[in-house]
Structures are given as structure tokens and as C-alpha cells.
Amino acid sequence: MNVKKDAHSKTKAIAVTILIFVILVPVGYSLVTYVFARSSPKGVPFIEMPASQYEKCVRETEYMRYHHWELLQQIRDEVVRDGIRGDIKLSSCRECHPNREQFCNQCHNAVNLQPDCFGCHYYPASTQATSGEMHGNEAGLHPKNIITEPGRAMGGEQDDG
Amino acid sequence: MDRRDFIRTGGILLVGASSAYGLRMLAVSSSRAPSPGSLPTTRKWGMVIDLNKCSSDCNVCMDACRKENNVAIHGDERWDIHWIRKVKIKSKNLNNSGEKSVPLLCNHCEHPPCAQVCPVQATYKRHDGIVIVDHHRCIGCRYCIIACPYNARYFNYKENDDWPNKDFPKRSHGVAEACTFCAHLLDEGKQPACVEACQRINAGAIMVGDLNDPESDVSQIIANNPIKRIREDLGTEPKVYYVGL
């Protein structure tokens, strides 16, 4: 009788421990990562401020920060499908923000986005010729391109030259 | 107020409120401006190629097109892309030597079979008659390549490494492409790259102009010369006219 009771309480104790771990581990993990993310300077994108002949951007900074892709997509549809070519182009972004590494990628990397605009639209990753450091995602290539053609990925190509 | 009255009053109020809301929606939808794509345009681009002025050993138009539009060349005919290419035609019916070098390109048909078969409307005819691929939308099914009776469409089997014209985008691996009449230049009031190159060497064999304008050079040549279009029997109404074919 005593033995049976002991076994029962032991099982109960193990179950409670496992339950506590199941709850504590993810909560603890997120707490730790949150604290690290708070303390690291990577949480602040937009290091590079534009230096150019223009006084201000085509839209307000807050709009461009959170909705620039909507503007770009709207312009894209107007240009490609209707042939209406206005003043705003992706290439004219380069005039104020020449360095994609310091500008676009700061935020795209922070939110883990790899838009494939730059596989076809020219936007240099860095203003210097030291583009050998960039890898596929930073070059704006879709990951599928890197997997299907490893020999032609941006990294390998740069090693040759 | 008993229960019946309450339900009746409530129902009347509900219907009234919803109909008022519906009226407002109707007013909004009727006052919406028409989209720019549906705006009528008077222009219709067309091309005239004078084969009497086109020499068989000249590839200036092909090179200019390649440079302007970043057309891929991999050195392997399976993957090479040509927006404009020259073929030799031999026939007894031809006037002079029996052999002609004919530049072939997208005919920008009035009834384009490529646009009809495209399952995602990536290929479509612009309001000025140019048949164009929206590469953002293309899924790479290659229906258009099969449908085109002129073999003017090409598929990007590989990523293109060359990028001679940085102001113009290249195409990524997995989309179809064809001649656009250099729509980006025509929209800015310039001439397509092949036309400009042909004029630069003083050949002037290729011309692009407005077919709807009877005074334009293109319309004048079409009106005053015996012209031919390729495979007119198909009813696609191509807009590339050949003189001396």
C-alpha cells in the first residue's frame, strides 16, 4: 500500500516539474532575448541620414518609414501597366540614399525581410567597390536563387573577380 | 411600450439606418474617378522595317537593343535571349538576289495570343498598343512562349550577370520576356534603341511612329508602299510592317 502511494506521488512530482519547465523555458527564453534586444544598439535602424541636394523626401519621413513599399508598388503599377512615368523612381532614391547597406538593409535586416527588388533594379549595396563582402540576402536576391544555383550566387561570383 | 412595439420600432430604425448607409456607399462608388489605365489614348505605336535599306551583315540594332535593355546572352543558344534577331530568308519570289536578311521581333499584335493565354494577366496590351510583360507578375508558366506564332518570346532560364544599362532593370531567373518597343524611351518622347542605332549608321531601315496619326512617317510609308506583315492570315493584326519582303 505504501509503495503504491509513493509511486503515485513520484509520478505527480515529475509531471508538475515537466509542466513547470514547459511553461518556464519559452517564457524565460523570450525574456532573455527581449533584454538582449533592448540593450543592443541593433534595435535602432536608420543610421545613415541622407546627404543630398534635396531638402526633403517625396513624402514625410514617418510615411516613408512605414509605407514606402506601398508608394513604390503604386508607382510600379502606374509605370508598368499604364505607362505613366512620374518623377518618383526607385533609382532616384539612390540620389539621397546611395548606400543600400547603410539604408535599406538596416531596417530590412532588423525585421528579417529580403525584398527581391534589387535582383533586377540597380541599387548598389555599398558606395565603395568593396561589394565582395555582401552575401545573397544582402544583395537582394531571393533565397531560392542561391539554392538552385550555388555556383552563381553573389558570394561565389565576387570571389572570382 | 410592449414587446411588439419595441421590435417594430427597432426594425424600422435598422432598415432606415442601413439604407442610409447604402445610399452613401452608392454615392461614393459613382463619384470614383476612372483609373488611368482605362483612359483613352490617341496614340498607337507601330514599326516599319524597310528591307531594301537593311544589309545582311549589319547587326547594329541587335547590339543596341542588348545594351539598352540588358538582354541576356550566355553564349549558348539554348539560353540566349533576342528581343530582335535577324534571319535569312531564301525564296524565288524575292526581287533581287533571292535572299533577304529580315529583322524579327515582337510584332505587338492588335490581338496578342500571348496576352490571351497568360493566366495571371502579366502579359497585356497597353493602351498605346504595346504588348508588354509585367515581370513582377509573371509566374514563368511559358504559355505565352508557346502561344506566340512569331517565336518572339524568350524565357530566362538563367540569371543574367551582365548589366550594361543600370538605369533599366534586368529580368530575374524564371520570367518570360520580349521586345517592348523600348516603351520606357517612347514614354519619354525618345526613339527606341534599335531605331536610333539604325539612324546613327545612316541606314534608317527601322522606324517607329504613331499609326493613328496619318501624317506620321510610319503611316506615310504604309500608305505609299507595298507593305507586308508576317502571318497576316492568323488575324493577330501585327503592328510591324515590312517593306520589300
A145 close to B (CB below 8 A): yes
Q: Which residues of A touch B183 (CB under 8 A)?
A: 83
Q: Note the pLDDT of residue B1.
A: 73
Q: Is-contact A125 A139, C-beta < 8 A?
A: yes
A81 close to B (CB below 8 A): yes
- Taking an 8 Å cut-off on Cβ atoms, the answer to whether A120 and B127 are in contact is no
Q: Note the pLDDT of residue B122.
A: 95
- Model confidence at A52, pLDDT cuts 50, 70, 90, reads low
Q: What are phi and psi of B105, to 5 degrees?
A: -155, 180
Q: Which residues of B touch A114 (CB under 8 A)?
A: none
Q: What are phi and psi of B206, to 5 degrees?
A: -105, 135
B229 close to A (CB below 8 A): no
Looking at chain B, the whole-number percentage of residues with pLDDT higher than 90 is 68
Q: Is-contact B108 B181, C-beta < 8 A?
A: yes
| A145 → chain B, closest CA residue | B173
A116 close to B (CB below 8 A): yes
Is residue B19 pLDDT above 80, yes or no? no
Give the span between the Cα atoms of B229 and B231, in whole angstroms: 6
In chain A, the N- to C-terminal Cα span, in Å, equals 80
- ipTM score: 0.74
User: Rounded to whole angstroms, what are the CA distances from A40 to A35, A45, A108?
Assistant: 9, 12, 17
Q: Which residues of A touch B124 (CB under 8 A)?
A: 81
Angle of helix B60-69 relative to helix B193-200, nearest 10 degrees, comes to 140
- Taking an 8 Å cut-off on Cβ atoms, the answer to whether B171 and A78 are in contact is no
A82 close to B (CB below 8 A): yes
- Model confidence at A128, pLDDT cuts 50, 70, 90, reads low
Give the span between the Cα atoms of B78 and B96, in whole angstroms: 34
Q: Which of A82, A121, A148 sits opposite B36 (nearest CB)?
A: A82
Is residue B82 pLDDT above 60, yes or no? yes
Q: Which residues of B touch A121 (CB under 8 A)?
A: 169
Name the 3-class secondary structure at B157: coil
Is residue B50 pLDDT above 50, yes or no? yes
Is residue B16 pLDDT above 80, yes or no? no
Is residue B64 pLDDT above 90, yes or no? yes
Burial classification of residue B207, based on how many CB atoms lie within 10 Å of its CB (0-12 exposed, 13-18 middle, 19 or more buried): buried
Name the 3-class secondary structure at A56: coil
> Averaged over A92-111, what is the pLDDT?
82
Q: Which of A81, A116, A145 sits opposite B37 (nearest CB)?
A: A81
Distance from CA of A69 to the nearest CA of B (A): 14
Give the span between the Cα atoms of B12 and A159, in whole angstroms: 76
> Taking the model in full, what pTM does it have?
0.69
Contacts across the A-B interface (CB distance below 8 Å): 50
Instruction: Report the DSSP pairing between strands B176-177 and B154-155.
Output: antiparallel
Highest-pLDDT range among A110-114, B20-24, B143-147: B143-147
> Averaged over B223-228, what is the pLDDT?
92
In 3D space, the residue among B108, B93, B106 whose CA is nearest the CA of residue B244 turns out to be B93
- Taking an 8 Å cut-off on Cβ atoms, the answer to whether A120 and B172 are in contact is yes
Instruction: Report the DSSP pairing between strands B227-228 and B176-177.
Output: unpaired
- Taking an 8 Å cut-off on Cβ atoms, the answer to whether A80 and B159 are in contact is no
